[in-house]
């Protein structure tokens, strides 16, 4: 699957628009004298109208309303941090060092990019965060939850070197782990009962002991346990992301029905991604300044033919659409981190018995996952029932992976609907929906995905409104 970032880098926004034009315009219009811009506008309007046709097949709305906000507010993140501080106090801890990007974003709200450069936040059990960051992030930190902080220039950092302050020198190389620990010691945290959101390596522990006088424990599970339980606000923002995603799938499906064998899978992916970006960003309030339009990822992928027979194909996807093939429309949409995957496997008539069998068993397992994902049941139990059903229906050779992974801001997240995961399902946990089946011999595969959130009572909630029907997925072109 080509990512949105890769697509834009390779073709540019202008090429994306012309790609919509070339793919969506009827052949008679494509050959006519219209300008590229006129063609793009015409084809985009036509495709949008077509998407309205597919949208009539959407499942009915449920009682979860979409969010009207574009991101979770700072107060939400501060409340998350407060809950973590309360947990630290209960465990007689004096503070936690957040080193993982997603933990930092979750507990502080600061969306940022991580590379080899250190970005960490120390959250004391009582009080405000202490930020540790490189100079390139100084404007992000200072315009957000700006509390106590320490800044280095860049990685590797030379002692005393801050060119942006006019201090240009080749000082001694600074060990940034020791630098953080020394800053904590300066603030009175030597010999304190501290934890981090990860288990430190032996070499890092030796540095901690050397500076602070004792090892730093791990509270990785405590942080993850909070993140896997999606709050009502997260669920509402996820529903908003999926409402857009529904429309993107409808756009892609009707593009396929209207233009069929004139297209490649790349044409559908590029046009649907462009449509989706325009759709989402038309509603996102932004002025170009930091902290708006954050955590947004919009990608629609498409693959046809043999590439569908592999869970993670490694070939570039640019293949002609022909009848009698498997085709998958897939991708992910996130707004401020909230959202997830949405796949629908399609088979293009004429259909073989093997196509029908693979698709039907895969679809039935998705519906089974929804019904079986009940609070109080273990992840392994749900996986066991799905795999047993697959084997009973004679598709064992086509099973390549577990039925689902946990879904979070980072994508894959604990826990997993897997035979080896004995985590108990609890309300607010979110999962992908992927009891896929793959048949390389015949060059076909069927892998759905969606987002199911465990409820306090009864089966899981489906976040998309896409149907699981033959009418949506088994099509004639």
DSSP category for residue 459: S
Strand partners, 341: 332
- Fold adopted by 4-66+229-475: Creatine Amidinohydrolase (3.90.230)
Dihedral angle sign, alpha carbons of residues 314, 252, 16, 6: negative
Angle at CA 356, nearest 5°, toward 355 and 360?
120
Dihedral angle sign, alpha carbons of residues 197, 199, 204, 206: positive
H or E element that contains 225 = helix 220-228
DSSP category for residue 136: G
**What pLDDT was estimated at residue 7?**
32
DSSP codes, 172-202 = PBP-HHHHHHHHHHHTT-TT--EEESS---H
State the virtual CA torsion across 378, 370, 265, 14 in degrees, nearest 10. -90
Q: Where does 282-378 have alpha helices with state H?
A: 353-372
Q: Is it true that 4-66+229-475 and 92-218 share their CATH fold?
A: no
**What pLDDT was estimated at residue 27?**
30
**What pLDDT was estimated at residue 187?**
98
H or E element that contains 105 = helix 101-108
- Rounded Cα distance between 343 and 434, Å, is 9
One pLDDT digit (tens) per residue for the chain, 477 residues: 334 333 333 333 333 333 333 333 333 333 333 333 343 344 455 545 545 689 999 999 999 999 999 999 999 999 999 999 999 999 999 999 999 999 999 999 999 999 999 999 999 999 999 999 999 999 999 999 989 999 999 999 999 999 999 999 999 999 999 999 999 999 999 999 999 999 999 999 999 999 999 999 999 999 999 999 999 999 999 999 999 999 999 999 999 999 999 999 999 999 999 999 999 999 999 999 999 999 999 999 999 999 999 999 999 999 999 999 999 999 999 999 999 999 999 999 999 999 999 999 999 999 999 999 999 999 999 999 999 999 999 999 999 999 999 999 999 999 999 999 999 999 999 999 999 999 999 999 999 999 999 999 999 999 999 999 999 999 999
Residue 368 burial (CB count, 10 A): 17
**What pLDDT was estimated at residue 35?**
35
User: In sequence order, what are the residues at sequence separation of 6 or more whose Cβ sits closer than 8 angstroms to the Cβ of residue 15?
Assistant: none
**What pLDDT was estimated at residue 14?**
32
**What pLDDT was estimated at residue 330?**
98
132 SS3 class? strand
pTM: 0.89
Q: What number of residues does the chain have?
A: 477
280 and 244 in contact (C-beta within 8 Å)? Answer: yes
Say how many CA atoms lie within 13 Å of 326 toward its Cβ. Answer: 29
User: In sequence order, what are the residues at sequence separation of 6 or more whose Cβ sits closer than 8 angstroms to the Cβ of residue 33?
Assistant: none
Angle at CA 351, nearest 5°, toward 345 and 355?
50
H or E element that contains 262 = none
- Rounded Cα distance between 397 and 418, Å, is 18
458 and 433 in contact (C-beta within 8 Å)? Answer: no
293 and 418 in contact (C-beta within 8 Å)? Answer: no
CATH 3.40.350.10 fits 92-218, yes or no: yes
- Rounded Cα distance between 100 and 108, Å, is 12
251 and 288 in contact (C-beta within 8 Å)? Answer: no
Q: Where does 232-321 have alpha helices with state H?
A: 232-259, 265-281
Nearest to 404 by CA among 452, 440, 332, 439: 452
End-to-end CA distance of the chain: 23
Domain boundaries, the chain: 4-66+229-475, 92-218
**What pLDDT was estimated at residue 11?**
33
């Amino acid at each position: 699957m080509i990512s949105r970032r890769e697509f834009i880098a390779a073709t540019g926004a202008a090429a994306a628009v012309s790609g919509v034009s070339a793919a969506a315009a009827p052949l008679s219009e494509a050959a006519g004298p219209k300008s590229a811009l006129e063609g793009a506008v015409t084809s985009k309007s036509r495709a949008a109208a077509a998407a309205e046709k597919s949208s009539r097949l959407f499942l009915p709305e449920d009682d979860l309303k979409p969010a009207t906000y574009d991101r979770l507010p700072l107060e939400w993140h501060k409340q998350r941090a407060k809950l973590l501080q309360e947990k630290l106090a209960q465990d007689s801890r004096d503070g936690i060092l957040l080193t993982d990007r997603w933990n930092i974003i979750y507990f502080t709200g600061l969306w940022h990019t991580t590379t080899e450069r250190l970005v960490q936040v120390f959250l004391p059990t009582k009080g405000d965060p202490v930020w540790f960051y490189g100079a390139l992030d100084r404007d992000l930190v200072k315009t957000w939850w700006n509390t106590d902080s320490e800044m280095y220039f860049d990685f590797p950092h030379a002692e005393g070197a801050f060119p942006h302050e006019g201090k240009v020198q080749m000082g001694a190389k600074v060990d940034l782990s020791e630098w953080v620990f020394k800053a904590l010691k300066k603030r009175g945290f030597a010999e304190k009962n501290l934890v981090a959101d990860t288990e430190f390596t032996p070499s890092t522990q030796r540095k901690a002991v050397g500076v602070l006088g004792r090892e730093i424990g791990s509270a990785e599970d405590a942080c993850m346990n909070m993140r896997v339980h999606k709050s009502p606000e997260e669920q509402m923002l996820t529903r908003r992301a999926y409402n857009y995603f529904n429309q993107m799938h409808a756009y892609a499906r009707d593009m396929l029905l209207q233009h069929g064998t004139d297209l490649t899978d790349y044409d559908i992916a590029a046009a649907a991604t462009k449509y989706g970006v325009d759709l989402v960003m038309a509603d996102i309030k932004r002025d170009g300044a930091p902290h708006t339009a954050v955590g947004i990822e919009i990608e629609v992928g498409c693959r046809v033919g043999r590439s569908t027979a592999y869970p993670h194909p490694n070939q570039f996807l640019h293949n002609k659409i022909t009848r009698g093939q498997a085709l998958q429309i897939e991708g992910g949409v996130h707004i401020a981190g909230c959202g997830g995957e949405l796949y629908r496997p399609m088979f293009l008539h004429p259909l073989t018995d093997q196509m029908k069998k693979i698709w039907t068993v895969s679809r039935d397992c998705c519906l089974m996952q929804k019904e079986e994902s009940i609070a109080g049941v273990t992840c392994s139990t749900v996986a066991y029932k799905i795999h047993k059903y697959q084997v009973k229906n004679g598709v064992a050779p086509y099973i390549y992976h577990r039925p689902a992974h946990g879904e979070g801001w980072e994508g894959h997240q604990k826990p997993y609907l897997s035979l080896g995961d004995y985590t108990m399902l609890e309300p607010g946990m979110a999962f992908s929906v992927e009891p896929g089946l793959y048949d390389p011999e015949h060059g076909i595969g069927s892998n759905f995905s969606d987002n199911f959130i465990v409820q306090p009572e009864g089966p899981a909630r489906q976040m998309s409104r896409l149907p699981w029907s033959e009418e949506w997925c088994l099509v004639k072109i």
